[in-house]
Amino acid sequence: MNSLERSLAVIEGHIPDRVPVCLLSFPNTARHAGYSIGEFCLSGEKMAAAHLGYWEEFRHDMIQLENGIAALAEAAGCAVEYADDEPPWVTRPAIRSLDEVERLREIDLQSPAVAALLQATALLAGKIGDSVCIRGDSDQGPFSLASQILGHEAFFFALMDPEQHARIHRLLEYSTEQVKRLARALSAAGSHFTVIGDSIAGPNVCSPGIYRQFAAPYERRAVESLRAEGIEMGTHICGNATSIIRDMLSTGARCFELDYQIDRLAVREATRGRATLIGTLDPSNLVPRGTPDEVAVKAREDIRILAPGGRFILGAGCTIPRETPAANVRALVRAAAECGIYRPDGTLAAEDRPTVKDFSGGKSYDWASRS
């Protein structure tokens, strides 16, 4: 199998030849190419060139395209600031109150970050899209986008006021349509599938009840609508999503990108045969600050727990930092090649025999003394 065939087989629930690798790496990709994050995020040509060089160096199976978590918000009217060494962020919401929801217009696909993302997707798809899986991400999910459009403080106060729920739902309907609009544009540009990030709706921020009432129904609308058009959409949620995994399954998404904090056994049992998992290495401590051996051991552990039966793509649970050493990225990719080979029945051909101390999921590590 080539990387495209391998990745799509896993997403569709088939057994590939080995575990694929997806790298959430745009800050590290920019650094690898010698670009600041700001110039990377706003230039489709630089974004595509950087990802091509990164792929040529590490040969991962899935190229994940994003330029931060503010592209959709900017296209919807939010003010966004770009910096050289950190991802862009929203500096001013698009509306000041829920009374202004009806004033919102559909996103501008020619806004700077969205236009760059679409251009990069098209350039990479044209260059290597017949052999590598191009994953153009549709930025934020409906719940997260709505919170940016209104502003996080006003949005969460409104969630606590039942009298404002009808208007919250109207804003969520609007944001759902914008997510779908970007997903369609990415698919037309050559993306093989897409993922939305709805981490602010996850248990590290909101209660499972909030996710169930205000996030999952709109994720489901997007997933079902896009699938009817031949577009697959997955969901990314940072933090410990174990308590909402069955609610995530109710959205109908076939792919969940999850963080290192999850209970791997519980999540695997809940999703077995129903959804593909992407992740689940610690992106903020282990991958950038551990040694290559430590990264390899944890990657092998996740393969051993999550890969049998297929439906697992190895990677970090979220974006790996700009300063992540190349040796650690290589260790991650190599673990899949060495320990992720499948037999036809979905069992792993190589038994994992770690030589470095294993780490249990969900722990925090003290890497302060390491550079």
Round the average pLDDT of the chain to a whole number and report it: 94
- Helix (H, G, I), strand (E, B), or coil: what is residue 160? coil
Average pLDDT over residues 255-265: 97
Q: Where are the beta strands (DSSP E) in the chain?
A: 22-23, 62-65, 79-81, 89-92, 133-136, 194-197, 233-237, 255-258, 276-281, 312-316
pLDDT at position 353: 43
pLDDT at position 352: 44
- Residue 248's contacts (CB-CB under 8 Å, 6 or more residues apart) are 216, 219, 235, 237, 241, 256, 275
Query: With 80 as the cut, is the pLDDT of residue 371 above it?
Result: no
Beta pairing partners, 22: 62
Average pLDDT over residues 43-71: 97
Whether this prediction's pTM lies above 0.75 is answered by yes
Does an H or E element contain 359, and which? none
Distance CA 264, CA 256 (A): 13
C-alpha closest to that of 74 among 10, 27, 139: 139
- Residue 221's contacts (CB-CB under 8 Å, 6 or more residues apart) are 142, 176
By the 8 A CB rule, do 90 and 75 touch? no
pLDDT at position 351: 56
All domains in the chain, ordered by first residue: 3-339 (3.20.20.210)
By the 8 A CB rule, do 240 and 259 touch? yes
Q: What percent of the chain has pLDDT over 70?
A: 94
C-alpha closest to that of 23 among 313, 306, 338: 313
Burial of 127 (0-12, 13-18, 19+ CB in 10 A): middle
For residue range 68-105, what is the model confidence (pLDDT) as tens digits? 999 999 999 999 999 999 999 999 999 999 999 999 99
**Phi, psi dihedrals of residue 140, rounded to the nearest 5°:** -90, 150
Average pLDDT over residues 40-44: 97
By the 8 A CB rule, do 356 and 350 touch? no
For residue range 276-309, what is the model confidence (pLDDT) as tens digits? 999 999 999 999 999 999 999 999 999 999 999 9
Distance CA 40, CA 30 (A): 6
Give residue 362's identity as a one-letter amino acid code.
G
Average pLDDT over residues 121-132: 98
pLDDT band for 332, please (50, 70, 90 cuts): very high
Query: With 50 as the cut, is the pLDDT of residue 357 above it?
Result: no
pLDDT at position 350: 74
Query: With 70 as the cut, is the pLDDT of residue 67 above it?
Result: yes
Query: With 70 as the cut, is the pLDDT of residue 364 above it?
Result: no
For residue range 217-242, what is the model confidence (pLDDT) as tens digits? 999 999 999 999 999 999 999 999 99
